[in-house]
Amino acid sequence: MAAIAAEQRPDLVEQATGELGADPFEQIAAAGATSASGLTLGMRATVMALTRVFRRFFVPYQAAS
């Protein structure tokens, strides 16, 4: 199967531009564009560390077979 280039199907490019806008990455960036504060990062790191400790000591070991 041959790949279809954007030059071969301008109708698909126009359709995608109509649905997603000129730059879809701007929409993605706008959706989650809040910067993380130090408190948020610290809390997340604490949760990750405690989860790791809990799993290390309280979850049974599963040997790879």
What is the extent of the structural domain holding 39?
Answer: 34-59
Distance CA 61, CA 65 (A): 12
25 located within any domain: no
- Token digits for 2? 């041959």
**Greatest Cα-to-Cα distance within the chain, rounded to the nearest angstrom:** 59
The answer as to whether 53 is a domain residue is: yes
pLDDT at residue 8 is higher than 60: yes
Please state the domain count of the chain.
1
Whether residue 55 lies inside any domain: the answer is yes
Q: What is the pLDDT of residues 13-54, one digit of tens each?
A: 777 777 766 665 666 566 555 677 889 899 999 999 999 999
Q: Catalogue the long-range contacts made by 9-15 (C-beta closer than 8 Å, 24 or more residues apart).
A: none
Q: Where are the alpha helices (DSSP H) in the chain?
A: 10-20, 24-31, 38-58
Tell me which DSSP letter residue 59 carries. S
